[in-house]
Structure 1
Amino acid sequence: MTKGKAWITVLFLLFSLVFVGITHQGTMLGDYLFRTIGIPPWSEPATNHGLHYSAIFGIILLIFSGNLTIMHFKQRYKKYVGRTVILFFIIFYYLYPFLTERLYYLVNMNNEGIEVVDFLEKDSHCMYGTQEDIVQVQCTIRLINYGGQNETIKIRPIFREYGNPQGIWSFAEVQPQEITLLPRSNIRHHIYFESKPDARIAEFGADGNTDYFGVEFVKDGQKKVVFRE
């Protein structure tokens, strides 16, 4: 086994792991690559449901690259190669989100503004109810500031209803709240929002809870919407 071949198999294995790995944002590189080349990563692209094509391809890639790595290194290291590769899979799976988050902190260490703030779906959810012509919304939102200084921004949750453009969220306008995010922070915030008064709200009504929503950030006239699908 040449050193060049060994490096190729290891790099192929690392690419397979990164392709199918889940970042701290809950996203997968494979989804991004599929969309870049014009292939929908899901069989139902409008709702991101059904068969997850990029994940299936990534798992096949991972099995192939893992077997290739084991075959190459087994020629020299007879014992424990398979178990070592599997252990590496497990360690990488748990460390990858931590590493991607640290990378974002490093890249944005000296940056500021709306680009360094982010929203994570993990541990985020909202409860809402109708009070006359207003929708009251109580949210727990995990927010990140990758930058090295305080960021004071306005935020509001963005709700969507699949296949229902006439639903209440098409006209119920939730008002933003101002919040200050600490430097290099990843914190769950409990924030109360209300919609603008609207006679249609009293007619339609809205009660329930959801963990499927996005967040709109506004700072210094700039707007950024994070809605991971």
Structure 2
Amino acid sequence: MTGIKGWLYILFLLFSLIFVGITHQGTMVGDYLFRTIGIPPWSEAATNHGLHYSVIFGIVMLIVSGNLTIMYFKQHYKKYVGRSVILFCIIFIYLYPILTEQLYYLVNVNKEGVKVVDFLEKDSDCMYGTQEDIVKIQCTIRLINYGGQNETIKIRPIFREYGNSQGIWSFIEVQPQEITLLPRSNIKYNIQFESKPDAKIVEFGASGNTNYFGVEFVKDGQKKEVFRR
């Protein structure tokens, strides 16, 4: 029979797994908690590079909670306790993004508008090239509709450059495209965008590809930006 101490160790282990687990959005709960209490999760906070403090803290918690759980249950169950705890951790981390996505579907099933649409960085990238005074952009974007009905919405990619206020993305304005997202869907779309004409574009003449971008959603006067990095 599991005592109070045993349940506390199990809860500590579950919290540690949730802390370091990667959601379907590619985010980590530990990063969110660090930011909530005013601690940057990265040593280079402006660029999300360097030492990942929240991951280091989470791994330490996971090791401690795992060892406490194993040592406690070894007193009651002699065989396979260590293997069982390790196997549980592996299965939980593997299923965690699936569980978080299904939870979002459940919570938002009766909601609509920009609040139920989302952008995932996974499998998303953009290629761009300059043609005279415009930039043509071909994007592969993974979009989610958590709601239970079609959502016709305007979207456009958002590009940012670290510490470069004079880069091409600081002044070009990408024109939005309208797209209909199926209910409870997680689909990869190929969408072409263009910027508004601008004389500066001729001067810079940028071309290339990137997976460092976000997405702006607009519907019925409401706007939502998703840029997780």
TM-score if structure 2 supplies the norm length? 0.99
Shift of residue 111 of structure 1?
0.6
Shift of residue 191 of structure 1?
0.1
Alignment correspondent of 2:75:
75
Shift of residue 3 of structure 1?
1.6
Q: 1:45 aligned to 2:45? A: yes
Percent identity over the alignment?
A: 83
SS of corresponding position for 1:224: strand
SS of corresponding position for 1:5: helix
SS of corresponding position for 2:26: coil
Structure 2 residue identity aligned to 1:175: Q
Shift of residue 206 of structure 1?
1.1
Alignment correspondent of 1:192:
192
Shift of residue 221 of structure 1?
0.5
Structure 1 residue identity aligned to 2:93: Y
Alignment correspondent of 2:222:
222
SS of corresponding position for 2:162: coil
Q: Deviations over 1:5-31 (max 9, x none)?
A: 111110000000000000000000000
Alignment correspondent of 2:105:
105
5+ long unaligned stretches in structure 1:
none
Alignment correspondent of 2:11:
11
Alignment correspondent of 1:60:
60
SS of corresponding position for 1:148: coil
Q: 1:34 aligned to 2:52? A: no
Alignment correspondent of 1:127:
127
Shift of residue 2 of structure 1?
5.3
Q: 1:96 aligned to 2:100? A: no
**C-alpha distance in 2, partners of 1:193/1:83?**
51
**C-alpha distance in 2, partners of 1:50/1:63?**
22
Alignment correspondent of 2:181:
181
5+ long unaligned stretches in structure 2:
none
Two-structure CA RMSD over aligned residues (Å): 0.8
**C-alpha distance in 2, partners of 1:64/1:147?**
39
Structure 2 residue identity aligned to 1:178: E
Shift of residue 201 of structure 1?
0.2
SS of corresponding position for 1:125: strand
Q: Deviations over 1:62-106 (max 9, x none)?
A: 000000000000001111111111111110111000000000000
Structure 1 stretches of 4+ moved >4 Å: none
Alignment correspondent of 1:169:
169
**C-alpha distance in 1, partners of 2:145/2:14?**
28
TM-score if structure 1 supplies the norm length? 0.99
Structure 1 residue identity aligned to 2:208: G
